[in-house]
Amino acid sequence: MAEDIEVAVIGGGPAGLMAAEMLGGEGLAVAVFDRMPTVGRKLLMAGRGGLNLTHSEPLARMLDRYGPAAATLRPMLEAFDNEAVRAWAEGLGQPVFTGSSGRVFPKALKASPLLRAWLARLAGQGVEIHTRHDWQGFGADGALRFRLADGGERQVRPKATVLAMGGASWPRLGADGGWVAPLRAAGIEVRDLAPANAGIDTGWSPAFAERFAGKPLKTVEIGFGDNRQRGDLVITAYGLEGGAIYTLGPAIREVLAQDGKAALRLDLRPDGDARSIAARLAKAFGKGRSRANALRALGLAPQAVAILREVPGGLPAEPLALAALLKAVPLEVSAQQPLARAISTAGGVAFEGLDERLMLKGRPGVFVAGEMLDWEAPTGGYLLQACLATGHRAAQGVSAFLAARHGA
């Protein structure tokens, strides 16, 4: 027998907890269900990087980061913008600051105090948290079916539900995309999940990978088609990671799907032009310096010089050719890192199947929020910003839905 409850939120990540907070604050009886023994595990993991809560840039610029989903997300980000995120964090006793890149962080530079205060607020509102409840899908009568840790099953039949089960990256933190099959089985359109903010595989030689994995490439530029992105990268055993690559991710993913490979260019000295670099190289050669020494005299780190040696054909002897190579090192990308190792997830529940309050058109009373939805954005605080804003919007939807039901 299914138990009747008022509001169920499935998934205790930032999106689900925001929805629970809004609804609990209205005095509704809210129960959060999560498959893990504790909630907010990915939020805590994000805290290891300082917890980039949002970005300080104006809304119009921020919206650009969401690509094709920007128009859909606009009203949600307007209703719960970066100022709202700051105020919310500060309301939880977590003062924030804006870093030099415009990113916004709590001064504590971690998530645990914020999550603790958040859970205390929810408890004060009477929000119940039921862990070790693994959602399996909808029962024939629309009830929510959970598998319990002891192998048993619990069914609940809420008046309204918020689905906020996250994407499928870092599955050990709880979100693994297991919801895709039950939603598709229920006739809900879900776009295939794909890695977002993922590293690229460049096929380094074993010697290079062994020696330089973990080393940075500071202030370089990655070019792909007409797009150039500047930033710091990190060399890994398989290739490269870093914000500049993540920003190009959607375009790289598209070309990889089509051609099986993608050609990128790496500019190791984005501030210098090839001619002036060549003149400096020629001068160094004139003094009898080797190519490697001449490159180091330009300020290139050993790993940057070694990357040039990874290019078939080796280092050109002629200064202009060497300078040109340094400005556009060809990188053949064979793959992106798999979803499990990506920072976030592209794809998800299609907005076409939802109304403007994030309610499933085919399943009245069921709302969707957070990374489960079909949007993606680069790192920079845009992920949590949209998770919180969609959680906020779904809660408003639930509230209006229940009010209309009671009024009917």
Distances (CA, A) of 133 to 9, 168, 250, 349: 11, 18, 34, 21
List C-alpha distances in Å: 14 to 10, 17, 309, 370, 386: 12, 5, 45, 8, 10
Return the residue of 52, 82, 161, 247 that touches ligand FAD, per CB under 6 A.
Answer: 52
Check residue 354 for interaction with ligand FAD (CB under 6 A): no
CB atoms within 10 A of CB 407: 6
Q: Closest CB to ligand FAD among 43 and 329?
A: 43
Among 30, 32, 51, 264, binds ligand FAD (CB under 6 A): 51
User: Contact between 34 and ligand FAD (CB under 6 A)?
Assistant: yes
Of positions 31, 175, 278, 323, contacts ligand FAD by CB under 6 A: 175
Three-state SS annotation for 290-358: CHHHHHHHCCCCHHHHHHHHHCCCCCCCCHHHHHHHHHCEEEEECEECCHHHCCEEEEEECHHHECCCC
| Cβ(168)–Cβ(191) below 8 Å | no
* Residue closest to 66 by CA, chosen among 348, 346, 393: 346
Q: Mark the segment that binds ligand FAD (CB under 6 A) among 35-43, 150-158, 202-210, 227-235.
A: 35-43
367 binds ligand FAD (CB under 6 A): no
Contact call for residue 183 and ligand FAD (CB under 6 A): no
The site for ligand FAD, by CB under 6 A, has a size of: 40
Let me know: does 271 contact 298? Beta carbons within 8 Å.
no
State the Cα torsion 112-115-120-122 to the nearest 10°.
-170
Taking residue 307's Cβ as centre, other Cβ atoms within 10 Å add up to 24
Mark the segment that binds ligand FAD (CB under 6 A) among 13-21, 115-123, 232-240, 312-320: 13-21
Nearest-approach distance from CB 113 to ligand FAD, in angstroms = 15
Q: Residue 252 CB, nearest distance to ligand FAD (Å)?
A: 19
CB-wise, 161 or 306, nearer to ligand FAD? 161
CA distance 127 to 147: 21
Q: Which residue's CB is nearer to ligand FAD, number 243 or number 370?
A: 370
From candidates 7, 9, 15, 104, binder to ligand FAD by CB under 6 A: 15
For residue 138, the minimal CB distance to ligand FAD (Å) is 12
Rule CB under 6 A: say whether 371 interacts with ligand FAD: yes
Rule CB under 6 A: is residue 49 a binding residue for ligand FAD?
A: yes
Which of 11/319 has CB closer to ligand FAD? 11
Cα–Cα distance between 229 and 220 in angstroms, integer?
A: 8
Q: What are residue 369's phi and psi, to 5 degrees?
A: -145, 160
Q: State how far the Cα of 95 lies from the Cα of 86, in Å rounded to an integer.
A: 8
Burial of 271 (0-12, 13-18, 19+ CB in 10 A): exposed
Among 106, 239, 249, 370, binds ligand FAD (CB under 6 A): 370
Specify the stretch interacting with ligand FAD by CB under 6 A; choose among 29-37, 266-274, 302-310, 329-337. 29-37
The residue from 8, 9, 10, 104 that contacts ligand FAD (CB under 6 A) is 10
**Minimum CB distance to ligand FAD, residue 175 (Å):** 3
Residue with structure tokens 């917890």? Answer: 51
Site string for ligand FAD, 126-165 (x = CB under 6 A): -------xxx----------------------------xx
For position 32 contacting ligand FAD by CB under 6 A, the verdict is no
Contact present, 57 and 50 (Cβ < 8 Å)? no
Under the binding rule (CB under 6 A), the answer on residue 14 touching ligand FAD is: yes
Would you tell me which residues interact with ligand FAD (CB under 6 A)?
Answer: 10-16, 33-36, 39, 41-43, 45-46, 49, 51-52, 133-135, 164-166, 169-170, 174-175, 178-179, 343-344, 370-371, 381, 383-384, 387
